[in-house]
Structure 1
Amino acid sequence: MTKARERLAGSDREPVKDARRVGPTDPGETMRVVVTLRRPSQQAIDEAAQKIARGEPAEPLTREAFAARFSAAPEDLAKVEAFAKEYDLSVQRTDAAACTVMLAGTVERFQRAFGVELSHYEHPKLGRFRGRTGCILIPQELVGIVTSVLGLDDRPQARPHFRIRSGYEPRRAAARTETFTPLQMASLYDFPPGDGSGQCIGIVELGGGYTESDLRQYFSELGMAEPRVVAVGVDGGSNAPSGNPSGADGEVTLDIEIAGAVAPGATIAVYFAPNSDAGFVDAVKQAVHDSTNKPSVISISWGAPESSWTAQALTAFNQALQEAATLGVTVCAAAGDSGSNDSSAGGDSVDFPASSPYVLACGGTRVTASGSASSLSIKSEVVWNDGASGGATGGGISSEFGLPPWQEGLKATYADGTTAALTKRGVPDVAADASPASGYEVLVGGQLTAVGGTSAVAPLFAGLIARINATQGKPVGFVNAKLYAAARAFRDITQGNNGSFAAAPGWDACTGLGSPDGRKIAAALGGSATQGPSASHGIAGGT
């Protein structure tokens, strides 16, 4: 007798444009899938997160308290385990706090278990991947318990948001005003003193890796101690440098070097996961609920247009970000490097996870500085838009998320000069230097190079938050409401566009509130910003 099944809400997959079906997958091929489960008292989490989003005082939960109250119910886990046993799938990992179960088995068994047909596809940009179309089917006993099934399709879900400057030649002259070390950028933006001691910055990566030799050389040349870096494997991911600085290695090393230079006293925990919807969601969940490293701030420099996500993956990911807010964890995410359309085939789009209302979305500018390497100041700052080949900051209006309370009353300015009131989530919230032409000097594969992209902005802000957390002795947590109430803590960017949207006085869909005045931000978030520069870590330091 065939068991009654129901469609898993939000699981529909459309065919990938320009993808060619090569043929069926090998039935005996082994694979892993991540199943997410409902949370007990989800309504209580929703209410707590909404309170935080409104800027109301709320004491964040510890990870231990959250797990005790909101972990997956034992009876729900038992039902998933019984389902797995019925279809000869093995339970590889159960994380009750994250409400996830990882299952492993053959293609044939997963096809039977979830009523799908898996095939191999070829795509000119995505390469070869295992995919499916249509919906996932689950037995009635799991309806309402299972909220997503991720990993049946392993197409690359996201892309890194960095741009390497071509033809760059490192200069050590006294007057370097075109590219900057992260220390110089922190000085330009008047970051408060501190080194992030006692904090942990979580960094999510979907491929590539770093080498100890690169980090050792880079921080040595900056004249500072190398931060403690911990690699955390997720779903089979690992620190696996390929030796290609233009690939994922460039993203990984950029993130570590910027965050580590700004907050060298912090531990840098790097969560390596496969580039799939399952890997991405699981990496964020593990970072949020990591009771060993306990990140107080997470930096994400990968993303994709909202339209490329299934509803189930978008919901699972956004709930993980909501959980971060209730735990007092700040999440900084790059807004994208492809202008207002985010390389979407369907017109303008914003990048996710930057579009989540539980994220500090980080856009990009182009900085012109004056002075010597040891005493720089910002001469001008405009929206980052270096054209089709050079990249431009992401930004726009979400199609998926409603208007958050801290953006009520704001307007978006379009490139033609017209304006419209925001009715949904606007992106980004903040911005900083992201143009490769005025980029960050980093070391990848033994070579110094200049790198830009909004993926540089996310770890820069993460380093700032780590400094403030260390000074306060507690995490500032979800910061958006406080930052929008303190718009004067930002340098307003009023020139430039990212395609469809233009900069304007106040918030705009290119640079958000603007670029940071670090001391004013620290004051707005309750941290001290009255001390002088920290000589011990060379905030103004050139190399």
Structure 2
Amino acid sequence: MNRTDSMGKKSKKGISSLGRKTCGLPFVIAMAFGAASTAHAAQFMTHHVRDVVSQMVAHQVGNLPATELMSIDVVLPVRDQAGLDQFVANVSNPNSLQYRQYVTPQEFTARFGPVQSDYETVKNYLAKYGFTIIGGSLDSMDIRAVGPVSSVEAAFNVKMHTYQHPTENRIFFSPDREPMTSLAIPLWHVSGLDNYSIPHPQLVKKGEYAAAHGISPDMVVSHATTGSGPSASFLGSDMRAAYYGSGSLTGAGQTLGLFEYAGINASDIALYYKNAKETNPNNLTVVSTDGTPTTCSGGSSCSSDGEQALDVTQAQGMAPGLAHVIMYVGATDTAIISAMTTTTDSNGVLPLTISCSWGWTPEDATTLDPYFEKMAAQGQSFFVASGDSGEWTKTGNAESWPGDDAHIISVGGTDLTTSSAAGPWKSETAWSDSSGGISPNDIAIPTWQQISGVITSTNKGSTKYRNGPDVSANANFTFYTCAMGSCQANEYGGTSFAAPMWAAFVALANQQTASNGSTAYAGFLNPTIYANNAPEGTTYSSTFHDITSGKNEKFSTEKGYDLVTGWGSPQAALISKIVQ
């Protein structure tokens, strides 16, 4: 079933991945329900079964044990989808009287969220089938529960089989059919019923890059020469100096969120700051959204905390005065993102800027849209790394989602040069592996990309589908990183580094907004950025570094917007433009 929202996105049946562990080990499944008002009782409005299963491409090899426990996250419907679409369009539109007049989570529930009676109905339904309720809330639209495979099969009228993956040397699990329930209310999605696509960080090591390109590692000569870290590598503080400068904003009073599929060892953050000879802000809190461990033991469920650690240090480097950095850890996207829209810091404050440096292929590319819209309605900015394969594809290592969703801010990669250690910006080109392009999930072009001067014959963008990325920042193999008790210089790169930089940069703008006595925070920035920058003029040249040299696998940089670096990287003056 398709629908078109007021932001220009066509919801289309697709694919989404959630539970992440292999068959035979404990694993987590999240189920999401949401619906348009026209849905029929017990109808799921999104797709669940992978094409390789429904078309019998993947060979069935067995069944999941009936007694194996599964952790599920049941998300209830959004009410008045058309009204929510319009509200998000208005609250994000600089020309609207509702611009940045955000709602709280409680106000969102009252206007668009599920009603209490439906919430209780779903809880009772799960309990009836043998699930134990372990969390969730009405405001987060979800109910988290644990039960055996037999309960999942009975509650949703499916059989949980195992299959040989058609392109990877592993077994995955999946339902044999689209789920159904006996509930008298419409449903949206049961996320996590398969582990066909395992989420991966948008992080690349030089050796892996060399292997992918058929060259020896010593031929990858990219490295920083003017950084403040060991071997002249870049620290997060170098990125602050390059993109923000010596201004007084530090992110004080702001809470930043990190979307993660695995936990972190705090000792790696301490080691980074010890070796960098900088002060550890000690502002990190790790929240498990569904029982996923908050630390990383180095086992199969968390082989490394490198992604998680760099997200922290890049955010802290750009905004060293952040009040809180909250890392939301979970096994499924709905469990993580639902918590991010309701779980606050110790002062009751939501994370207003959020970074996600992971990619995966969903069962259905519309699955998270209710939460993306909820974030926009609440004034939360969600930045997603665009990827590290130099292109966007629907599946595989270059899979685009969620970087090509129309409700997020997609962040590409550049190669940055500074004037000196902790010095100002000097020059910048495109990072050749910066992923972007035209949405392979056929997500319709949003209204803000239809502005005259954005998509041109020169940049070769699509006038039908969503283009990306939107913005960019340094992603080359120029950083200092620590993971699992050791550190490396100039070995890792990726748009993983760029996304938390942007989240922290916008936290500086939100600090300025708060100091002005306002609550008109940045929120979903794309409509504002595109309106300000097209056609290019003095505002654009003073707020962005326009990247005009370099290319990725399919596209070249161009003057103005392009499908390699978007509008480019930020300048300090962008903050005052955001705050206006």
Measured after TM superposition, the shift of residue 161 of structure 1 is 0.2
Query: What residue is the counterpart of 1:10 in the other structure?
Result: 46
Measured after TM superposition, the shift of residue 524 of structure 1 is 1.0
2:60 maps to 1:21:
yes
Looking at secondary structure, tell me which structure has more strand per residue: 1
2:204 maps to 1:163:
yes
TM-score if structure 1 supplies the norm length? 0.83
Q: From 255, 263, 272, give the equivalent of 2:329.
A: 272
CA distance in 2, matches of 1:222, 1:264: 14
Measured after TM superposition, the shift of residue 376 of structure 1 is 4.7
Contact 2:510 2:579 in 1 (8 A): no
Aligned length: 498
CA distance in 2, matches of 1:222, 1:468: 27
Query: What residue is the counterpart of 2:557 in the other structure?
Result: 503
Mapping of 1:385-424 within 5 angstroms? 385=432, 391-397=433-439, 399-408=441-450, 409-410=452-453, 412=455, 419=460, 421-424=462-465
Contact 2:472 2:568 in 1 (8 A): yes
Task: Out of 440-449 and 177-186, give the one that drifted further.
Answer: 177-186
Contact 1:483 1:524 in 2 (8 A): no
Deviations, residues 459-494 of structure 1 (Å, cap 9, x unaligned): 000111111111221432221122223331211112
Q: 1:86 to 1:64 in 2, by over 3 A?
A: closer
Query: What residue is the counterpart of 1:319 in the other structure?
Result: 370
Mapping of 1:107-506 within 5 angstroms? 107-123=149-165, 125=168, 127-139=170-182, 141-142=184-185, 144=186, 146-166=187-207, 179-191=233-245, 192-207=247-262, 209-220=263-274, 221-243=276-298, 247-266=303-322, 267-274=324-331, 279-292=332-345, 294-304=350-360, 308-311=361-364, 314-342=365-393, 344=395, 351-369=400-418, 371-379=419-427, 381-385=428-432, 391-397=433-439, 399-408=441-450, 409-410=452-453, 412=455, 419=460, 421-436=462-477, 439-444=478-483, 445-450=485-490, 451-473=492-514, 474=519, 475-487=521-533, 488=540, 489-506=543-560
Q: 1:128 to 1:349 in 2, by over 3 A?
A: closer
Query: What residue is the counterpart of 1:532 in the other structure?
Result: none
Measured after TM superposition, the shift of residue 233 of structure 1 is 0.3
Deviations, residues 426-472 of structure 1 (Å, cap 9, x unaligned): 11100111122xx2212222323332101111100011111111122
Q: 1:392 to 1:43 in 2, by over 3 A?
A: closer
SS state at 1:435 partner: coil
Measured after TM superposition, the shift of residue 156 of structure 1 is 4.4
CA distance in 2, matches of 1:69, 1:418: 41
Contact 1:231 1:238 in 2 (8 A): no
Mapping of 1:45-64 within 5 angstroms? 45-55=84-94, 56=96, 57-64=99-106
Contact 1:333 1:362 in 2 (8 A): yes
Measured after TM superposition, the shift of residue 155 of structure 1 is 4.0
TM-score if structure 2 supplies the norm length? 0.78
Measured after TM superposition, the shift of residue 119 of structure 1 is 1.6
Measured after TM superposition, the shift of residue 418 of structure 1 is 7.6
Q: 1:80 to 1:140 in 2, by over 3 A?
A: closer
Contact 1:335 1:350 in 2 (8 A): no
Contact 1:36 1:316 in 2 (8 A): no
1:341 partner amino acid: W
CA distance in 1, matches of 2:459, 2:495: 26
Deviations, residues 495-536 of structure 1 (Å, cap 9, x unaligned): 22222222111111111111111x121021127xxxxxxxxx
Query: What residue is the counterpart of 2:574 in the other structure?
Result: 521
1:91 partner amino acid: I
Task: Out of 498-507 and 176-185, give the one that drifted further.
Answer: 176-185
Contact 2:476 2:494 in 1 (8 A): yes
Task: Out of 250-259 and 75-84, give the one that drifted further.
Answer: 75-84
SS state at 2:579 partner: coil
Measured after TM superposition, the shift of residue 62 of structure 1 is 2.2
Task: Out of 96-105 and 323-332, give the one that drifted further.
Answer: 96-105
Deviations, residues 267-288 of structure 1 (Å, cap 9, x unaligned): 11001111xxxx1122011012
- What percentage of residue pairs aligned between the two structures are identical? 24
Coordinate RMSD, CA, aligned: 3.1
Deviations, residues 229-286 of structure 1 (Å, cap 9, x unaligned): 0010011112222348995411000101110121222111001111xxxx11220110
SS state at 2:443 partner: strand
Contact 1:411 1:419 in 2 (8 A): no
SS state at 2:439 partner: strand
Contact 1:67 1:97 in 2 (8 A): yes
2:141 maps to 1:99:
yes
- Gapped runs of 5+ residues in structure 1? 386-390, 528-543
SS state at 1:463 partner: helix
Q: 1:269 to 1:125 in 2, by over 3 A?
A: farther
CA distance in 2, matches of 1:270, 1:44: 31
Task: Out of 243-252 and 44-53, give the one that drifted further.
Answer: 243-252
Deviations, residues 52-78 of structure 1 (Å, cap 9, x unaligned): 343332311123333444442122123
CA distance in 2, matches of 1:403, 1:112: 40
Measured after TM superposition, the shift of residue 153 of structure 1 is 1.9
CA distance in 1, matches of 2:67, 2:117: 31
Deviations, residues 95-131 of structure 1 (Å, cap 9, x unaligned): 1112112232221221122121212235464744322
SS state at 2:472 partner: strand
